[in-house]
Structure 1
């Protein structure tokens, strides 16, 4: 039985669709993990909150960060302001995030 190492074109990685905030197809997944909240999109991941392993990761320190990390930080702060209504894992669309952040144009 032989093993063939080959290349596909396009590769599985090239088939991944990338969208940037505020593209219509962009989404963010939000998961609660202990005292931390994890935000992720196709291209970025961030976590904010406090736990015994990582200590405190304050979203206020990342609101000016380049790229999607600042979107995640601003979203985290907006959700806290609303009383953190997320009770389970969920995903938000770009439009929902824009409404929460007041980024509607």
Structure 2
């Protein structure tokens, strides 16, 4: 499986261990499958609250996502972004305890 880098902590992990977001209509949008079902450049983040906090630090927030996606995007606040990731965990069940997708 290919490796991707988390925009929060900077560590490289297998793509299946990360949550993928893409830019859609100027907003950060969850790729529900994580497999590129939403086409375009993606940005990956660990399904960990600390990684999300690091990625959303005030001085980095706009730049980190906009540069990675190569377009300016509206990024949700911490609570909203974390809720999206938590819902994805429940739906897919693949991120719990860092387990890899089978």
**TM-score w.r.t. structure 1 length?**
0.28
Q: Which structure has the larger Rg over C-alpha atoms?
A: 1
- TM-score, normalised on structure 2? 0.28
Structure with more of its chain in helix, by fraction: 2
Q: Decide which structure has greater strand share.
A: 1
